[in-house]
Structure formats: C-alpha cells, structure tokens
C-alpha cells in the first residue's frame, strides 16, 4: 500500500502491469517489486527485447503473450478477446463500452430546463434510500412546476426545491424484482393489503435544454407524429444530415451531445444511422473593425439591426458571405457593406428602370438570342458559381457574378448586343437571377417577378450548365517564325493540325518572312500557336 505517482489519481487498486505500463514500471522500481513480462515485443526498434523479458525495461508495444498460463502464443488483440471470453464464462466480468460525459455539463441547478424524469426512493423518515426509479412512460413528459416567485432560497439545494410538495413528492406502488410495478393502481384503498406504496421525491436538478436540442433535427422530420418521436420510414429517408455548420465552441458542446444522444438511440434501435451528421464545417468568427473580438467592453459591437436599417437585409447577407472564406476569421468593414450594396444596386438596375416613377422593366431587357460569346461567358459563370456553392466558397461565387454583371454593362461589346445593337439581357437575366437568389433572396424574388414570372423563384430549377455553350468556337492563333510573333488570326477551335499548318504558311505575313528560306519543321500547339522553324 502506497501513494501512487500521480496527484489526484484517486484511490483503489491500480492496473499493476509494470512490464508494460510506464507509470506502473516506475512504481515497481521505486518499491523493488518484481517485474514479470507478459508480452514478448519480438524484434523491435523501440525497445530492447531481452531487457523487457528480463524485467529491466518497460514495453507498451503489442506482441505475443507469454507467462500467461494457457494463453501463451496469442497476439495482443487475440489475447484481449480470449481473456474477455474467459472472464465472462467464469462469471467474473463482461465486455462493455463505457462512455464518459461530464455530469456537471448536463445536470444543472436552476429553475428552467427539462426536469429529469427520475424519482428518488425515500424511507419512513423521508431520507433517500439510494434507490432511484424512472417515471412511467405514461406519465411523461414531466413539466416544470408553477412557482409563485423565483427568488433564491438561500440553501445549497437546487432552486426547484422551492417547488410545492404536491409536485416534489409522489407515492407509487412497490416495484418488483424485474423493476415493473406490481399493479397499475395507485390508490392504497384499491390495492388493499397486497401492495405497499413507496414515497418518492422528484429529481430537482434540471437538464440544460440539451435534451431537446440533441435530437430536434429528428423531430423536424416528423413534427406532428403523436405516437412516435419520428416515423421510422421518414427517418430512414432523410437521415443522416448532409452538413452541420457551427462555430468551434458550438461543435464541442452541441455536436458532442447530439452524437452521443444519437448513438444511444441507434443502439436501442430507434434510428437507422450510427452518426447523425456526415460533414462538419466550422464557420469563422467576425471580428470588430479594429480586428479584435466583438465585445461591449471594447465598444466594437456591430448591431445587425442597424446595418439592415441602413443597407437592407440582402446587403448584410451578401457582405457576410463576400468577406472571405467561410471558415476564416474576418474583420467587419462597414465600407465593405457599401461596396456590396453597390453591386446589388447594379444588378437591380439591369432589370428595373430606376428613372421611372413606378416599378418598371428596363427597356434594355430584350428577348434576343444571345451571341456565342455571351453564352460562353454565361455558362462558364454557371459552372463556377454552382461548384463554388457546393464547396461553400460563397465569396468566390459572388465574385463570379460581379464579373458577369460588369460585362452586362459593357454595351459596346458586340457579345452583349443584339442584331440592332440592343443589350441581350432577357435570356441571360433569366439565368443570372436564380444564381443570385441564395445570396440576395428578397431582391431576387422581386426581380424574378419583374421579369414576368408568376411562380416562386424558390420553385424554379437551378440553371443548368451546358458544356458545349461554354466552349469558345473561335480562338486566336499566334503565328511565329523561329519563335518570333509575325501574325495572329481568329480561327475555329476545332481545326485539325494539318489545316492550321496550311493556313499559317498561306498567311501573307508568314509568306514574306519565310520567302527564300527552307522550312525545317512546323511546331503546333493546338488552340494557341503555330511556330515555323526556318533556316
């Protein structure tokens, strides 16, 4: 008997395998206890095998069992299974999985929160016997009692000790050895002499609302079910959840308990998935404009209501997604809100005539067939925005749409002009507005209506990316002679190398450059250049 080597380790028997646990080895060395190896580490670069077998060195490596009676020669994993089975067969133990949760995080001493449906048995003197009992399922849920006031009672007991006795105390029939009530009747007169009524006291600690928030996503699937917390078929159809987004602090609290709660439900056969969530993303914190964490003490708190009042909810939403990567820590910038509001206004003016006295469609919006170049830019934007949203890279998706809106304002470029010089916006905007809707839902819904749609924008399909339209039909081919640029020409992107070579040699500037010289070879980089080597 001796103090162990770790302060606060506790009392009781220790594991006592000094040959294979460093703390036990130190303990044995200190008190000259025998060290008997029970695992042969074999040839190892980590420990000296002979020293381990002689009890002179500790080894925590896996190996083969020795000095273990009839279990010699087993690998470490096989030995664990053998000894577990032997102990279970002898009635000395059983295999179990132990989950460790800090009770103080779940059991709270306060007035609110879900009451624990637990009853503590009392003896004839009103003292706890140490036996507890769960409230019968038919008596659930246990509601909080009515209290006339919530003033502290000045005692170390939980605040709910102020509850009236008719809530705190209850009498129930004695429980049989199989933990079921001997009778369903709760009246001593009706039970007669056969069953004894036991006095119980309700648990007055409360749950910290984790009991509800741990499984709310399951209830959302089937919120009106009166017979089961979620229909099995619906749960199987909807679970597991694709994405869980929360801050780092949120993840180590709510996420931890949600997973624990869900695994209990899975073990009891109530849900079909062992994990509730498939992917976790921790969004970054938004700092104050001074680059420090927002707090009242620093005086740098930004009130979202004030931002919405001045710039609108869509502007606030858009700026928060445009600030940078979702998972990065970012400083707030009111000037940045002004910038994204400018982009929102530009997108609005593409469709709405801001000079009119009432809401009116901009005359430049014409249902003209887009040019090939317009389709190419549009469908490249669809591809980038779709991929960026799927990767939660909202800031780059917004940047892509900003580029598209800027191009739409360049009237002089023929790519965005119809046969009569009108801006080709009709079909292009029919695609742009749905892409904008996840970022500026309120403005996008109004713009959708302005374009003449009766259906809700939320019911409209996401724009489809067409690869053929994103490809450039013509490319600029550079003609070189001995590596020096002599000419450029727009040609079809589908031309074979033989035709590219023929056109290059036929070009007037190239003929002049190679006149009187011998063409040694022609180097072609498809879609980019033709280099003619001469001597």
pLDDT tens, position by position, 162-219: 999 999 999 999 875 454 444 444 444 444 445 789 999 999 999 877 777 888 999 9
Residue 325's nearest CA partner among 399, 385, 392, 401 is 392
pLDDT at position 418 is 45
Over residues 335-356, the mean pLDDT reads: 91
Q: Which of 4-18, 274-288, 488-502 has the lowest mean pLDDT?
A: 4-18
Percentage of the chain with pLDDT > 90?
50
Query: Is the sign of the CA dihedral 362, 363, 365, 367 positive or negative?
Result: positive
Residue 224, pLDDT above cutoff 90: yes
- Give the pair of three-digit tokens for residue 160: 């709910």
Q: Are strands 197-202 and 169-173 parallel, antiparallel or unpaired?
A: antiparallel
Q: How many helices (H) and strands (E) does the chain have?
A: 21, 16
Please say whether the beta carbons of 25 and 37 come within 8 A. no
Percentage of the chain with pLDDT > 70?
89
pLDDT tens, position by position, 99-157: 665 554 678 888 888 899 999 999 999 999 999 999 998 998 899 999 988 898 888 89
Over residues 352-375, the mean pLDDT reads: 80
Q: In sequence order, which residues have a C-beta less than 8 Å from that of residue 387 and are 6 or more positions away?
A: none
Place of tokens 């469908």: 379
pTM of full prediction above 0.85 = no
Place of tokens 């993303």: 281
Query: How far, in Å, CA of 192 to CA of 196, rounded?
Result: 9
- Please state the separation of Cα 80 from the chain's center in Å: 36
pLDDT at position 164 is 94
At 414, the pLDDT band (50, 70, 90 cuts) reads very low
pLDDT at position 127 is 94
Q: Which of 134-138, 378-382, 495-499 has the lowest mean pLDDT?
A: 495-499
Over residues 290-310, the mean pLDDT reads: 90
Strands (E), 396-501: 474-481, 484-492
Strand, coil or helix: 47 = coil
Please say whether the beta carbons of 134 and 119 come within 8 A. yes
At 492, the pLDDT band (50, 70, 90 cuts) reads confident
pLDDT at position 14 is 66
pLDDT tens, position by position, 234-273: 999 999 999 998 887 777 778 888 888 899 999 999 999 9
- Give the pair of three-digit tokens for residue 144: 């909080």
pLDDT tens, position by position, 29-50: 988 999 999 999 998 888 999 9
Residue 318: exposed, middle, or buried by beta-carbon count in 10 A (0-12, 13-18, 19+)?
Answer: buried
At 439, the pLDDT band (50, 70, 90 cuts) reads very high
Residue 59, pLDDT above cutoff 90: yes
């Amino acid at each position: 008997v001796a103090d162990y080597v770790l302060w606060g380790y506790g009392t009781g028997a220790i594991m006592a395998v000094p040959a294979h646990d460093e703390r036990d080895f130190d303990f044995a060395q200190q008190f000259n206890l025998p060290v008997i190896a029970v695992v042969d580490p074999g040839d190892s670069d980590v420990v000296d095998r002979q020293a381990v077998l002689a009890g002179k060195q500790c080894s925590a490596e896996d190996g083969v069992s020795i000095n273990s009676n009839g279990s010699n020669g087993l690998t470490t994993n096989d030995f664990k299974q053998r000894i577990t089975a032997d102990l279970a067969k002898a009635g000395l133990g059983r295999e179990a999985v132990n989950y460790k949760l800090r009770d103080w995080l779940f059991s709270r001493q306060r007035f609110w929160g879900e009451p624990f449906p637990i009853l503590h048995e009392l003896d004839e003197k009103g003292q706890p016997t140490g036996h507890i009992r769960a409230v019968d399922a038919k008596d659930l849920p246990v509601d909080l009692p009515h209290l006339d006031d919530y003033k502290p009672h000045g005692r170390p007991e939980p605040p709910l000790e102020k509850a009236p006795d008719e809530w705190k105390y209850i009498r129930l029939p004695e429980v049989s050895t199989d933990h079921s009530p001997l009778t369903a009747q709760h009246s001593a007169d009706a039970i007669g002499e056969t069953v004894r009524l036991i006095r119980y006291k309700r648990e007055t600690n409360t749950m910290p609302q984790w009991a509800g928030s741990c499984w709310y996503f399951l209830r959302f699937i089937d919120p009106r079910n009166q017979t089961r917390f979620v229909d099995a078929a619906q749960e199987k159809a909807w679970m597991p959840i694709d994405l869980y987004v929360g801050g780092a602090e949120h993840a180590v609290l709510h996420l931890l308990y949600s997973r624990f709660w869900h695994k209990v439900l899975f073990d009891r056969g109530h849900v079909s998935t062992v994990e509730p969530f498939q992917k976790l993303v921790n969004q970054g914190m938004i700092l104050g404009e001074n680059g420090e964490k927002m707090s009242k003490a620093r005086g740098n708190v930004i009130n979202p209501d004030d931002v919405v009042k001045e710039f609108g909810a869509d502007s606030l939403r858009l700026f928060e997604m445009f600030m940078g990567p979702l998972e990065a820590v970012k400083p707030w910038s009111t000037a940045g809100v002004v910038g994204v509001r400018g982009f929102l206004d530009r997108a609005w003016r593409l469709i709405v005539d801001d000079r009119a006295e009432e809401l009116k469609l901009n005359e430049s919006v014409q249902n003209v067939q887009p040019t090939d170049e317009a389709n190419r830019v549009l469908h490249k934007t669809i591809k980038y925005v779709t991929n960026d949203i799927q990767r939660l890279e909202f800031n780059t998706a917004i940047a892509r749409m900003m580029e598209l809106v800027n191009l739409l304002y360049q009237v002089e470029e023929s790519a965005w002009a119809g046969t009569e010089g009108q801006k080709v916006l009709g079909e292009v905007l029919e695609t742009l507005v749905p892409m904008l809707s996840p970022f500026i839902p309120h403005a996008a819904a109004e713009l959708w209506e302005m374009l003449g749609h009766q259906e809700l924008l939320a019911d409209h399909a996401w724009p489809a990316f067409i690869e053929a339209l994103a490809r450039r039909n013509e490319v600029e081919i550079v003609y070189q002679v001995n590596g020096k640029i002599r000419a450029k020409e727009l040609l079809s992107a589908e031309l074979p190398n033989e035709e590219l070579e023929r056109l290059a040699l036929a070009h007037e500037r190239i003929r002049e450059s190679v006149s009187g010289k011998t063409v040694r070879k022609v180097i072609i980089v498809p879609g980019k250049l033709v280099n003619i080597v001469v001597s």
